[in-house]
């Protein structure tokens, strides 16, 4: 009897061996998926308004450190990004310089409605490289003299539109109408002053300050009633809906570390 049982067991040994090997392979594969799956790095393509570029570049570093994902930053005017996104540009996230552009993309089906939020509120400043040119009340705007004033394109850049509003509400537009130097975006307006092509510029406060102080030259932080609020909204684009890194980037942007960095660069935050 014993030899019969042994013979039967020997007959099943190949099958038992096969089952054990299959279970082992399945277990190892599952363990590998659990270990490697969450850490799989992905890349998010982020379109960033020019004024926010320095902050975005620093956020990209902390984002990769904290999540393992990578962020590729493209910098430009919000109006240009709007056109590029509608023409199929492969951006996953837009950090706009205004609130209107992301909402238009949502309304037209190019962005995800429930992802929309205000990531920063900007301020406009009159700035010069000369340490004595801009007075604490901006009275230098009352008389152009030989000065030229750099602004961003108001049709493409929210800070350019705010600059036009401020000049109009101050009643000094006729003084500067023929002496404006217009850049495509706020980064170019800043560059015109930095290079000496314009002695004055209406630029983003975040470009010229750090921790509430002007880094170089002289400046006047314009009162907020002189222009519409510079709310800057972020939105997940249609192309980024299935991109893990895109969702992680937006979460990172809301984190305490990112919020502190944004504030240190001269932006306010929405409650």
State the residue range of the domain holding 259. Answer: 43-121+230-264
- How far is it, in rounded angstroms, from Cα 62 to Cα 57? 9
Q: Is residue 100 packed enough to be buried (19+ CB in 10 Å), middle (13-18) or exposed (0-12)?
A: middle
Q: How far apart are CA 7 and CA 58, in angstroms?
A: 71
**134 and 209 share a domain?**
yes
CB atoms closer than 10 angstroms to residue 49: 29
Per the domain annotation, does 38 fall within a domain?
Answer: no
pLDDT of residue 148: 97
For the chain, residues with pLDDT lower than 70 are: 1-40
CATH number of the domain bearing residue 199: 3.40.190.10
Domain tally for the chain?
A: 2
* Same domain assignment for residues 94 and 107: yes
Distance CA 82, CA 49 (A): 11
Which pTM does this prediction carry?
0.76
Pairing relationship of beta strands 117-122 and 70-76 according to DSSP bridges = unpaired
Quote the pLDDT of residue 223. Answer: 95
Model pLDDT for residues 189-229, shown as the tens digit of each residue: 999 999 999 999 999 999 999 888 999 999 999 999 999 99
Distance, CA of 10 to CA of 7 (rounded, Å): 5
Same domain, 114 and 246: yes
pLDDT of residue 3: 39
For residues 233 and 81, the answer to whether their CB atoms sit within 8 Å is no
Q: Is residue 153 part of a domain?
A: yes
């Amino acid at each position: 009897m014993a030899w019969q049982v042994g013979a039967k067991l020997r007959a099943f040994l190949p099958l038992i061996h096969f089952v054990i090997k299959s279970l082992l392979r399945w277990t190892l594969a599952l363990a590998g998926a659990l270990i490697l799956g969450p850490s799989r790095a992905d890349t998010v393509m982020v379109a960033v308004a020019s004024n926010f570029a320095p902050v975005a570049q620093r956020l990209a570093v902390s984002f990769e450190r904290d999540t393992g994902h990578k962020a590729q930053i493209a910098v430009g005017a919000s109006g240009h990004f709007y056109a590029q996104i509608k023409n199929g540009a492969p951006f996953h996230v837009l950090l706009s310089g205004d609130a209107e552009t992301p909402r238009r993309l949502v309304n037209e089906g190019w962005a995800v409605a429930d992802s929309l939020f205000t990531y920063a509120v900007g301020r406009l400043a009159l700035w010069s490289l000369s340490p004595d040119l801009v007075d604490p009340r901006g009275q230098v705007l009352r008389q152009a003299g030989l000065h030229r004033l750099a602004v961003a394109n108001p049709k493409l850049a929210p800070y350019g539109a705010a600059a036009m509003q401020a000049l109009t509400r101050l009643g000094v537009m006729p003084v500067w109408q023929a002496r404006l130097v217009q850049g495509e975006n706020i980064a170019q307006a800043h560059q015109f002053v930095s290079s000496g092509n314009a002695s004055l510029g209406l630029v983003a406060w975040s470009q010229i300050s750090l921790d509430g102080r002007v880094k170089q030259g002289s400046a006047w932080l314009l009162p907020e009633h002189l222009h519409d609020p510079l709310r800057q909204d972020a939105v997940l684009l249609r192309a980024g809906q299935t991109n893990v890194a895109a969702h992680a980037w937006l979460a990172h942007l809301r984190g305490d570390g990112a919020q502190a960095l944004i504030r240190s660069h001269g932006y306010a935050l929405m409650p």
